[in-house]
C-alpha cells in the first residue's frame, strides 16, 4: 500500500537558520498538507496546497513559512528563519478528496 | 473559526471492556469526521471516518456515531485489547484542512 514519505526524520538547527522539510505524497493524490504537532499537544493545520497553489493557510503559517511543489513528486515546507517555538513534529499529508493520509513526520529541534 | 472539543483527555479501560470517546464541533457546515490513532512517536493513522449523510459506521470492533443536530460524534471501541492503547484524535473538515481535537490517551489495563 503506498504511503506518504518524509525526509529527514530528525532535523536539528540553530535559531535563525533556514530549514527545508521534504515530503513525497501518494502518487495519485491531488491535495497536499502540512501540519505540526508540538510535543504532547494536538495536531495543528498549517497549510493546504491544490492545483499548484495554496488553498488555505492558518494563522501559524506566516511570512516565515513557504511551500513548494518543485517537481511532480516532492512537496516541501521551508521555514526561512527558525525560532525556538518552531520546534515540533511536522507532518505532511495527502489526499484524493477528504481522506487524508499522514507521513511519518520530521522532528524539528531549534536550538 | 472551527473548534473541536474532545473528552475525556485520558481513559483507562480494562481489557475486554468498551471505550467511548466523544467530540463536539462548532462549524455546522462540517461534513467529514475522521478518527486517527497515534502511537508514541508515530504518525496519526486513520482508523475510521464518517460523512454527514450517515449516522453510524462500523468496522469490526470500531464504530463511529454522528449526531449532526447536536454537533457531536463519538468513537466506540469494543472488546478492547492492549494494542488499542494509544492517543486518539477526532477531527472535522474536508478537502481544505482538518481541525483536530485535543486527543484522548487510552490505556488498556491487562
Q: Is A99 on the interface with B (CB under 8 A)?
A: yes
More confident residue, B3 or A76: A76
Q: What is the pLDDT of residue B54?
A: 84
pLDDT band at B2 (very low <50, low <70, confident <90, very high): confident
Using the predicted structure, report yes or no on whether residue A9 has a pLDDT greater than 80: yes
What is the average pLDDT score of chain B? Answer: 95
Q: What is the pLDDT of residue A85?
A: 96
8 Å CB contact between A31 and A94: yes
- Which three cell numbers, joined as nine digits, stand for B42? 508515530
How distant is the Cα of A24 from the closest Cα of chain B, in angstroms? 15
Q: What is the pLDDT of residue B10?
A: 98
Using the predicted structure, report yes or no on whether residue B11 has a pLDDT greater than 80: yes
How distant is the Cα of A40 from the closest Cα of chain B, in angstroms? 9
pLDDT band at B79 (very low <50, low <70, confident <90, very high): very high
- What's the pLDDT tens digit per position in B16-62? 999 999 999 998 888 999 999 999 999 999 999 999 888 999 999 99
Q: What is the pLDDT of residue B67?
A: 94
A4 vs B9: CA distance, rounded Å: 29
Print burial letters for A62-85: b (CB count within 10 Å at least 16), e (below 16): eeebebeeeeeeebebebeebeee
Task: Determine whether the interchain pair B34/A31 forms a contact, defined as Cβ–Cβ distance below 8 Å.
Answer: no
Q: Is A15 on the interface with B (CB under 8 A)?
A: no
pLDDT band at B1 (very low <50, low <70, confident <90, very high): low
Q: What is the pLDDT of residue A72?
A: 79
* Percentage, residues of chain B above pLDDT 90: 86
- What's the pLDDT tens digit per position in A19-78? 999 999 999 999 999 999 999 999 999 999 999 999 999 999 999 999 999 887 899 999
In what helix (H) or strand (E) does residue B20 lie, and over which residues does it extend?
Answer: strand B19-25
Find, among A98, A34, A36, the residue nearest to A66 by Cα.
Answer: A34
Task: Determine whether the interchain pair A42/B100 forms a contact, defined as Cβ–Cβ distance below 8 Å.
Answer: yes
8 Å CB contact between A4 and A102: yes
Q: Is B46 helix (H, G, I), strand (E, B) or coil?
A: strand
Nearest to A56 among B49, B97, B100 (CB): B97
Q: What is the pLDDT of residue A1?
A: 78
Nearest to A100 among B98, B102, B103 (CB): B98
Q: What is the pLDDT of residue A43?
A: 96
Amino acid at each position: 500500500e503506498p504511503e506518504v514519505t518524509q525526509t529527514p526524520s530528525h532535523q536539528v538547527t540553530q535559531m535563525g537558520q533556514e530549514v527545508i522539510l521534504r515530503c513525497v505524497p501518494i502518487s495519485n493524490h491531488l491535495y497536499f498538507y502540512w501540519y505540526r504537532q508540538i510535543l504532547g499537544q494536538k495536531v495543528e493545520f498549517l497549510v493546504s496546497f491544490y492545483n499548484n497553489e495554496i488553498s488555505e493557510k492558518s494563522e501559524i503559517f506566516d511570512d516565515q513559512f513557504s511551500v513548494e511543489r518543485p517537481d511532480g513528486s516532492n512537496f516541501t515546507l521551508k521555514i526561512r528563519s527558525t525560532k525556538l517555538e518552531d520546534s515540533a513534529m511536522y507532518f505532511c499529508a495527502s489526499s484524493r478528496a477528504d481522506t487524508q493520509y499522514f507521513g511519518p513526520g520530521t522532528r524539528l529541534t531549534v536550538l | 473559526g472551527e473548534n473541536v472539543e474532545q473528552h475525556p483527555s485520558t481513559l483507562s479501560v480494562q481489557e475486554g471492556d468498551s471505550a467511548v470517546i466523544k467530540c463536539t464541533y462548532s462549524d455546522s457546515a462540517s461534513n467529514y469526521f475522521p478518527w486517527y490513532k497515534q502511537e508514541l512517536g508515530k504518525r496519526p493513522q486513520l482508523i475510521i471516518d464518517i460523512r454527514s449523510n450517515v449516522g453510524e459506521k462500523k468496522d469490526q470492533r470500531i464504530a463511529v456515531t454522528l449526531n449532526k443536530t447536536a454537533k457531536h460524534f463519538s468513537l466506540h471501541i469494543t472488546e478492547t485489547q492492549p494494542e488499542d492503547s494509544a492517543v486518539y484524535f477526532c477531527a472535522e473538515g474536508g478537502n481544505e484542512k482538518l481541525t483536530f481535537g485535543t486527543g484522548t490517551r487510552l490505556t488498556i489495563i491487562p
